[in-house]
A and B are shown apart, each in its own frame.
Chain A
Amino acid sequence: MIQVNSLHKSFGAVQALRGVSFTAPDGCITGLLVPNGAGKTTTLRILYTLLKPDSGTASIDGYDTVSQSLDVQEHIGVLPESHGLYPRLTARENIRYYGQLRGLSGDQLEQKIAHLIELLEMSDIADRRTDGFSSGQRVKVAIARSLVHDPSNVLLDEPTNGLDVISTRAMRSFIRRLSESGKCVLFSSHIMQEVSALCDNIIILNRGEVVACGSPEELLRATGQSNLEEAFVSAIGSEEGLLRS
């Protein structure tokens, strides 16, 4: 479970976050719908401990992201926006490195890797060096290595970015299965349809603040609109920064 309470963060004169609060429960898919440049990456970076908030707190399974950052890192799996791989290592070696960094080894680790390779349907590329992989193949490797320790919380920053239609569909069903297995899934996107199709809960962030949150039905009721697209636009106040497809 992810709890965020009144996060503030500035970079110089730029106020990136101005009091962001939300909760993402276990067993649910929570979508962060954020126009570009509205504080998405900053929020996620605070959650995965690479940035410290100026004020406010964030916790994952009760561990504070600042004072207990190593505990937080034990309990999350993250696909950040930049998911660079090591081009001279094979896909399997890339995943194995992350498993070893998390203290896994031996048969236990190899079985988990094999399981993820099967789950993500990437056995054909598993033992090839990742140099020259397509973006879909790269995302698969990046997701596999972030889940190798079977974390209870999964943070995905635009996981379908740059994927073709087939890969996008596969990725969405993979995200659903993560949530069905009881994990807390927080994923960000600026693609409206994806958020509405996948999410149990939607958090709309704009200019560093939460402007609306709730289930799709609640959002419709709160904004008085008849479809989600209109609800988003009405919550954000403009269509700027959102993609429809």
Chain B
Amino acid sequence: MNGSLTRIYVVFRKEAMDNLRDRRSIFSALSSSLIGPVILVLLIYILGKSIFSDRLLNPLQLPVSGAENAPELILFMEQNGTQILPAPANPEVAVRNGDADVILIIPIGYDSEFSSGRPATVQLVLDSTRQSAISSVERTRDLLSAYNQQIASLRLIARGVNPTVTSPLAVENIDLATPQTQALIFLNMMPYFIVMVVFLGGMYVVIDTTAGERERGSLEPLLINPVARWEFVIGKLAASWPFAIFTLLCNLMAFALAFNVFPLEDYIGIQLSIDLTALGWIFVIALPMVLLASALQMIIATFTRSFKEAQTYVAFLPLIPALPGIGLAFLPVKPTLWTMLIPTFGQQLLINQLMRGEAVSPINAVASAAMTILVAIGLTYAAIRLYQRERLLFGTK
């Protein structure tokens, strides 16, 4: 056994050193660690700006056509912080082209309808599918509704009726969303990015030491050395682990920087934060996936005939854990014990919990790690069986 450990270490050290000299391995590891944080910051920058910041910082800018028909309404809106603009010649075209979020049209008949006590028609021109306009539309509606309420009350009082009789219900919204939970729209994507990074970090090393070894013609002489095949497999897999772990660490640090240092508050009005303890646990929870990813990648790379072919297939692997991850962003799944038994999915749920600052059940964490490690051992055994076949030399199925 001691001899085995020495030989595994020799294989590990050579493959790790060899790949450290390969700019491609290093570059791929580093760049993949930054994908997630960069995409998140960009999304927050672009979306956050349009969704969150309007109401807080800017006055509502509302083009109005026929403002002269309803001077009191216009005055009310201006008093409530609206900046009234002249309407463009063709309001529908302007909204369709996105030149204006919403345009208010006050027809000529407004005044006569209003003074005779009939409902006075006003029109809002809007495009309900445009996300960026939602805020302006809602603010305009709120103002119109407030004016409506005010005039209705005044009319009832003039007729000697208490205005409260028209409000049998007093609806109060108790919004439980804290700034932290609002920001989870963005944070929900983070677990998948972490899983992806685990798959990408060691990918080049696994391909280089398996498909690459055969393509260079160095596999046949290597196998003539008195080293058991399982020792080669373990040594080569182990060489990819430091790369995957290093990538994971870089990724977590980049996330920490993005959330704790980058001035997100300027864009979404609140500052997200993940504390270092949570990051540490996320790291620990992600570690078993390193074993899983490397074994899975080696099996695929062993079937392929060249580096390029291996790269094509192996690059698809991180998309598989993405499927439940994308679902997670829309349909919240409770972290029950059975979900923990699905490798990569359990981890995504646990990481999600840690990010929300929720307590993670130790049984869930252990079940997820144990199952992932078991599957990884099974896959490693399968990779060893593949390495024991005569056909390994020729790289055919």
A71 to B226 Cα, complex, angstroms: 8
Question: Which residue of chain A lies nearest to B216 when distances are taken between CB atoms in the complex?
Answer: A84
Does B72 have its Cβ within 8 Å of any Cβ on chain A? no
Answer whether A103 and B6 are a contact pair too, CB < 8 Å, given A70-B228, A73-B225: yes
Question: Which of A48, A78, A84, A100 is within 8 Å of B10, CB to CB?
Answer: A100
> Which residue of B18, B217, B393 contacts A50 across the interface (Cβ within 8 Å)?
B393
Shortest distance from the beta carbon of A77 to any chain B beta carbon, whole Å: 9
Number of interface residues of A (CB under 8 A): 32
Taking a contact as CB atoms under 8 Å apart, the answer to whether B18 and A101 are in contact is no
Given A101-B7, A103-B3, A103-B6, residue A80 in contact with residue B14 (CB < 8 A) = no
Once the chains bind, are A101 and B11 in contact (CB under 8 Å)? yes
Question: Is the CB–CB distance between A102 and B217 below 8 Å?
Answer: no
Quote the shortest CB–CB distance from B228 to chain A (angstroms).
7
Q: How many residues of B contact A (CB 8 A)?
A: 26
* A145 vs B7: C-alpha distance when bound (angstroms): 16
Tell me the minimal C-beta distance from B122 to chain A in angstroms: 74
> Once the chains bind, are B218 and A85 in contact (CB under 8 Å)?
yes
A97 to B227, CA, bound (A): 12
A87 within 8 A of B: yes
B220 at interface by CB-CB < 8 Å: yes
Considering the complex, which residues of chain A in the window 77-119 have a beta carbon less than 8 Å from any beta carbon of chain B?
78-89, 97-98, 100-103
Q: Of residues 47 to 80 in A, which have CB atoms within 8 Å of B's CB atoms?
A: 48-52, 70-71, 73-74, 76, 78-80
Q: Say if the beta carbon of A142 comes within 8 Å of chain B.
A: yes
CB-defined contacts of A45 to chain B, threshold 8 Å: 393
Q: Are B216 and A101 in contact (CB under 8 A)?
A: no
B76–chain A nearest beta-carbon distance, Å: 75
Q: How far is the CB of B23 from chain A (nearest CB, A)?
A: 10
B216 and A86 form a contact (CB under 8 A): yes
Count: A-B pairs, CB below 8 Å: 73
Q: Which residues of B contact A50 (CB under 8 A)?
A: 220, 223-224, 390, 393
In the complex, what's the smallest C-beta–C-beta distance from A225 to chain B, in angstroms? Answer: 37
Is A206 part of the binding interface, using a Cβ–Cβ cutoff of 8 Å?
A: no
Q: Are B224 and A52 in contact, with the CB atoms below 8 A? A: no
Q: How far, in Å, is A17 (CB) from chain B's closest CB?
A: 14
A97 and B10 contact, CB distance less than 8 A: yes
Contact with A along B49-93 (1 / 0, CB 8 A): 000000000000000000000000000000000000000000000
Report B8-48 residues with CB < 8 Å from chain A CB: 10-11, 14, 17-18, 21-22
Query: Roughly how many angstroms separate A85 CA and B220 CA in the complex, as a whole number?
Result: 11
Q: Is the CB of B221 within 8 A of A83?
A: yes
Report Cα–Cα, A74/B3, bound state, in Å: 14
Question: Nearest CB to that of A73 among chain B residues?
Answer: B226
Q: Is A146 an interface residue (CB 8 A)?
A: yes
Q: How far is the CB of B394 from chain A (nearest CB, A)?
A: 10
> Which residues of B are found within 8 Å of A70, using beta-carbon distances?
226, 228
Note all chain A residues with C-beta closer than 8 A to B228: 70
Give CA–CA (A74, B226) in the complex, Å. Answer: 6
Choose from A71, A82, A97 the contact partner of B14 (Cβ within 8 Å): A97
Minimum-distance CB pairs A-B, first 8: A84-B217, A84-B218, A82-B217, A73-B226, A84-B216, A101-B225, A88-B21, A100-B10
Binding site for B on A (CB under 8 A): 45, 48-52, 70-71, 73-74, 76, 78-89, 97-98, 100-103, 142, 145-146
